[in-house]
């Protein structure tokens, strides 16, 4: 066989391999897509996912069905995504905990987010805000830390449970400032906030969507947000860095939700989902829903998101180790 014919043979063979992939991308999606949400129906994550699924479905011309798979801090749902076929018909709503915290928290974690998932794009970012009961005699973080160190004070903070982001935010504050705070874990952030309002617990870190109504009503007092920049929903509340706690934002304090798919999803399908998410994020209805949940719209390219997720993985590993938190 002549060299020319050999080259032609390899070229035609390559075209035959590429053709099915091109056809798959062109025809996709030809049936409904399943979006696995790793938390219960009715919560903030579920509300965000359903709004996003509706808008993305309109862009793609196919319905996106939300499938709630709660448990293990979100890991059960994202594990189902990781184990699904990489054909574009199963995607998941991941978040800081499912990809950056849980792998270090659970000794036998079922998936590695760095190798078992395909990042598509984040969709929102958000923050924790440190709030205290109004009777705690402080007005800023420095005063709160000093108050916690007094010999006549038994200061504590509540969280939604061991390993939750608001637990780790508290442990990070203790590490960076030497604050003396006992951790009191609850089965969810809602009952924790109730006890902070009642004065049973001194403080907690909470997300704006649930903290804002209580802040406005005067039931809790905000001291600082954990994000690198001030929250647009709490513009008068300083960041931890502005409050004299440098390094807090560098340790992994900006929280987020984003879309992921199984590993080895063909690049053409990754781009199709990414572009659909971008178009959906421009829709006024989705923008209004996101603002109503006190989230900040935020996207990255799939490559940028992968890099970001890897950095987050390492950052939160240090915070989890610092806290000593483990979940069997």
Fold match flag (9-125+255-323 vs 129-251): yes
Residue 147's nearest CA partner among 137, 157, 133, 161 is 137
Please state the domain extents for the chain.
9-125+255-323, 129-251
Confidence band (pLDDT; 50, 70, 90) for 2? low
Q: What's the angle, vertex CA 87, arms to CA 85 and CA 93, rounded to 5?
A: 75
Which class would CATH give 9-125+255-323? alpha beta
Distance, in Å, from the CA atom of 80 to the CA atom of 85, rounded to the nearest integer, reads 10
Summarize the confidence of residues 200-205 as an average pLDDT.
97
Residue 196 in tokens:
């902070």
pLDDT at position 252: 64
CA atoms within 13 A on the CB side of 271: 7
Tens of pLDDT, residue by residue over 68-93, are 999 999 999 999 999 999 999 999 99
pLDDT at position 136: 97
Q: Give pTM, 2 decimals.
A: 0.87
* CATH topology classification for 129-251: D-Maltodextrin-Binding Protein; domain 2 (3.40.190)
Residue 202's nearest CA partner among 177, 175, 220 is 220
Tens of pLDDT, residue by residue over 17-53, are 544 444 466 789 999 999 999 999 988 889 999 999 9
Summarize the confidence of residues 159-180 as an average pLDDT.
92
pLDDT at position 327: 80
């Amino acid at each position: 066989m002549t060299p020319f014919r050999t080259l032609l043979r390899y070229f035609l063979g390559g075209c035959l391999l590429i053709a099915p992939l091109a056809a798959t991308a062109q025809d996709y999606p030809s049936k409904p897509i399943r979006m696995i949400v790793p938390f219960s129906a009715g919560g903030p994550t579920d509300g965000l996912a359903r709004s996003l699924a509706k808008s993305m479905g309109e862009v793609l011309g196919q319905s996106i069905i939300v499938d709630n798979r709660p448990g293990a801090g979100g890991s059960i749902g994202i594990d189902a995504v990781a184990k699904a076929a990489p054909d574009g018909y199963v995607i998941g709503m991941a978040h800081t905990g499912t990809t950056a915290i849980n792998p270090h928290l659970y000794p036998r974690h079922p998936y590695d987010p760095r190798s078992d998932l395909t990042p598509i794009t984040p969709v929102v970012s958000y923050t924790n805000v440190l709030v205290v009961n109004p009777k705690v005699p402080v007005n800023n973080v420095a005063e709160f830390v000093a108050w916690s160190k007094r010999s006549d004070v038994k200061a504590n903070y509540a969280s939604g449970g061991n390993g939750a982001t608001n637990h780790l935010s508290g442990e990070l504050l203790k590490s960076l400032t030497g604050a003396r705070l006992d951790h009191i874990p609850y089965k969810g952030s809602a009952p924790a906030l109730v006890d902070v309002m009642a004065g049973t617990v001194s403080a907690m870190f909470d997300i704006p969507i649930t903290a804002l109504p209580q802040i406005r009503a005067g039931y809790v007092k905000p001291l600082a947000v954990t994000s690198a920049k001030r929250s647009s929903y709490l513009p008068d509340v300083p960041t931890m860095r502005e409050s004299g706690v440098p390094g807090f934002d560098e340790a992994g304090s900006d929280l987020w939700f984003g879309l992921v798919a199984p590993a080895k999803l063909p690049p053409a399908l990754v781009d199709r989902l990414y572009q659909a998410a971008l178009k959906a994020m421009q829709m006024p209805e989705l923008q209004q829903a996101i603002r109503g949940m006190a989230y900040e719209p935020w996207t990255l390219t799939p490559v940028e998101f992968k890099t970001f997720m890897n950095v987050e993985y390492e950052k939160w590993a240090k915070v989890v180790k610092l806290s000593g938190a483990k979940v069997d």
